[in-house]
Chains A and B, each alone.
Chain A
Amino acid sequence: MIVQNRMAICSTRQIADNIIEMVLTGNLVNEIVSPGQFVHIRVTDTFEPLLRRPISIASFDKEKEQMTLIFRAEGRGTQLLAAKQIGAEVDALGPLGNGFSAANSVAGETALLIGGGIGVPPLYQLSKELTAKGVHCVHILGFQSATAVFYEEEFTALGETRIVTADGSAGERGFVTDSLARNPVDFKTYYTCGPTPMLHAVQQAFHDKQGFLSFEQRMGCGIGACFACVCETQNGQDLPYVKVCSDGPVFPAGVVAL
């Protein structure tokens, strides 16, 4: 169920260039059903900025009623959120959308998790759930440069992790797909989240594999009512469009036209 919850900030810290990790507590956490769901955050009680900010859930702990958000403090809204201190309350609407399902991989299989930049966070909870059930996870995480890298240790603790940077200042140089072309991984299913060009390249590279892609789009309401975040579907789908916020943000490969 979607709830509106004033959540308290338990901790907040910068973990890379402009990247904030914020832990929030509140009963909204009890409603989360899958990794890759997101919350819609109102960063101020004033009209400036007016709209909520969609931020994906990086991980959650229902026993502690805590969830971790990782976001880039880039625009006015996320900068205001980043400036909030421990103990402050944040107006969160969620959980929203349909996330990744760990049920798409079974114990003993290998899953390939490919993240790009601020698309990396939701893969963390997914990897925790997959590895917990005995799926072998390989993580390919792409960033702009060394100072943008985060959660390398956290992912490494769960399985093989490759860091790829556009400028080569950390890990391998290039894009995630370059790394995978150089050193292929034998896997059953891929899960990916990141910028649209990366999703496109990944889907093309693994067109014969089962895959799940998480999309990003400018949103209004976040619940499926305003039709701001629609994407065209590929030919052959029942609907000419899907809504990223409420039909997604995660779609099986081949659904959204890339």
Chain B
Amino acid sequence: MNRLAVELPGLSLKNPIMPASGCFGFGKEYGNLYDLSQLGAIMIKATTLETRFGNPTPRVAETAAGMLNAIGLQNPGLERVLAEELTRLANHDVPIIANVAGSETEDYVQVAEAISKAPNVKALELNISCPNVKCGGIAFGTDPKLAAELTSAVKQVSSVPVYVKLSPNVSDITVIAKAVEAAGADGITMINTLVGMRLDRKTGKPVIANGTGGLSGPAVKPVAIRMVYEVSKAVNIPIIGMGGVTDAGDVIDFLSAGASAVAVGTANFVNPFVCPEIIHALPALLDELGLENITDLIGRSHAV
């Protein structure tokens, strides 16, 4: 019996740890550093129908215990992701969660339909929360009606379960969560980055060329924990939680808040070996807590 195993729609995870989309590329670089089959899953970088170059540089700026980014969904486009990236990832025994992005419903649907047929893609992550692109992205994620319609459209064509990635840049995240659940979402991933800005002291102008960027890193963890807590009480579909995870202790917190699995983002930039290190550290933490299985942690914060 594997103490770390977690079963989610479409995903038989050998452990609940996965790199978050946008922080791991398509796995190639990290695959040179360690065996990717150790991971519970991999959330690959957002894929759009066409090749995207992304935003002008500077695209990142450091902030207190965090960073801002405005990459702008740079990716080689659906065709090359299928032919090159997913084919290469098929050499590793690890389920892929494909992050799907677009500008309008039609291109989300086209990408979702095609990418969900790749044999190693076990689930989709519908990106309705990217704060760094002008069209699509967050526009879908901040309007419950639009979010539901898009979820429903993608569900109709997807060959695998659909998880919807929620934006924290809303006044009540449970409204969006309930809307996508009603539209047929199989799960929720949360949170995407918080919109922020850093100014250059000399010029007074934004450091990031895009003006605003998405805040990530340890600084956002309390916001993420609070939102996972709220959403897990509001919906009955599983949550993959993320936001500022840097060690195994943070994983305990996210599971306790109500997540069923946890993604690691910015920490990969600080320590490229962070995911396997967290996986190796989890059994001892379970022992300390007197728990047999990692699933025993899920939703502890809600216990009466």
Binding site for B on A (CB under 8 A): 1-2, 4, 42, 47-52, 93, 217-232, 240-241, 246
Q: In the complex, which of the residues A48, A225, A240 has the most CB atoms of chain B within 10 Å of its own CB atom?
A: A225
Contact A226 to B269, CB < 8 A, known contacts A50-B66, A218-B57: yes
Knowing A50-B66, A230-B54, the reply to whether A225 touches B30 (Cβ < 8 A) is yes
> In the complex, what residues of A have CB within 8 A of residue B64's CB?
48
Query: Which chain B residues lie closer than 8 Å to A240 at the CB level?
Result: 51, 53
Pairwise interchain contact A50-B273, C-beta atoms closer than 8 A: no
Beta-carbon contact of B272 and A223 below 8 Å = yes
In the bound assembly, the distance between CA atoms of A190 and B22 in angstroms comes to 37
A227 to B73, CA, bound (A): 9
Total B residues in contact with A, Cβ cutoff 8 Å: 37
Across the interface, do A246 and B29 meet the contact criterion of CB distance under 8 Å? Answer: yes
Assess the B269–A52 pair: CB atoms within 8 A.
Answer: yes
Q: Is the CB of A228 within 8 A of B268?
A: no
Known contacts A47-B217, A228-B71, A230-B54; is A221 also within 8 Å of B269 by CB? yes
Contacts of B268 in A (CB 8 A): 221, 225
Q: A243 to nearest B CB, angstroms?
A: 10
Residues of A with C-beta under 8 A to B67? 50-51, 220
Interface string of B66-78 (1 = CB under 8 A from A): 1101010010000
Question: Secondary structure of the A side of the interface?
Answer: loop
Question: With the chains together, A217 CA to B58 CA distance in Å?
Answer: 8
Across-interface contacts of A4 in B (CB, < 8 A): 271-273
* Cβ–Cβ < 8 Å partners of A241 in chain B: 53, 74
Q: Enumerate the 6 nearest inter-chain pairs by beta-carbon distance, A residue then B residue, closest first.
A: A225-B25, A47-B65, A228-B60, A221-B269, A225-B29, A223-B29
Q: Are A52 and B29 in contact (CB under 8 A)?
A: no
A226 touching B65 in the complex, CB below 8 Å, given contacts A50-B217, A241-B53, A246-B29: no
A227 to B46, CA, bound (A): 12
Which residues of chain B (245-304) have a CB below 8 Å from chain A? 246, 266, 268-273
A47-B60 contact in complex given A221-B269, A223-B29, A241-B53, C-beta closer than 8 Å: no
In chain B, positions 136-186 with a C-beta closer than 8 Å to chain A are none
Q: Per a CB cutoff under 8 Å, which of A52, A217, A246 touches B270? A: A52
10 contacts across the A-B interface (CB closer than 8 A)? A2-B33, A4-B273, A50-B67, A50-B270, A51-B269, A221-B29, A221-B272, A223-B32, A225-B29, A227-B54
